[in-house]
Amino acid sequence: MQSQKSFATHTTGTLYLVPTPIGNLGDMTVRSIETLKAVAVIAAEDTRHTQQLLNQFEITTKQISFHEHNKESRIPELVARLVAGEDIAQVSDAGMPSISDPGHELVKAALEADIPVVPIPGASAGITALIASGLAPQPFMFYGFLERRPKDQIAELQGLLTHTETMIFYESPHRLAKTLANIAEVFGDAHPVVLARELTKRYEEFLRGSAQELADWAANNEVRGEFVLMIGGNEHVVNPHEEDPLADLTALEAVAALVAHGMKGTAAVKKIAKERELDRQKLYLEYQGVPK
């Protein structure tokens, strides 16, 4: 077990994880500003972007770049500075460090060197979107970005099909339509999905509907801005510790029951065929009404 010692017992510096606004500069906290002013250096994902924030709050602390492409060489340098007694703040371009952004490897390296790591509360797009989504706020799972290749994304979504908690993803505008179409294919046309666009900014918008409705919207509109995408948990997953509500139904009846609750036909067939060790193709043909 590892216990973080009090600051008084440490001769090293401290690594501060400082959140930055996800859009509205008014969400920058007093503590975050004070921390950025007090540390020796700020490790920033994009120093040009962060400099605009620093200028806004009259913060003159020097920056050093720390991002996905230089982290291998930069981490030893930052840890050495921390060991030497310097306090360092790490920031990403928006929101919480380490959440779909650089930071996790630096935190691990600091902890391994017995350096205090202090997280500062602040803006997080995923949680901000969740509480206004209308979907169940707990339990929830933050997933981040899905795979980009269509085949890999489909497989990834199929692996998430049995989750009963609300799922939170980030998605870029140019991939949104295809991702929503894949969600509709895997989870079913009627499955509840919520999009949060441009959170805290002037054109903040929530779109709530079925997977197919939002897929159609994305396919037929000019999609702009950054999105938080949330999928409602699958309420019809069978708990292995509870009696199977589909146990008394035939395979076809079980498929029909899942489809009636919003699951895509192909996904329902795959689920029942796997659970009952049946021939999936044969069951699908029967479901489509093709004679044996």
- Domains of the chain as residue ranges with CATH: 11-119 (3.40.1010.10), 126-231 (3.30.950.10), 236-292 (no CATH)
Cβ neighbourhood burial of 154 (10 Å; 0-12, 13-18, 19+): middle
Interatomic CA distance for residues 37 and 58, integer angstroms: 9
- Which residue numbers in the chain have pLDDT < 70? 1-9, 236-245, 261-262, 290-292
pLDDT of 9 reads 64
Place of tokens 């040009």: 48
pLDDT of 106 reads 95
Instruction: Report pLDDT for 115.
Output: 96
The pLDDT assigned to 270 comes to 86
Q: What is the pLDDT of residue 5?
A: 57
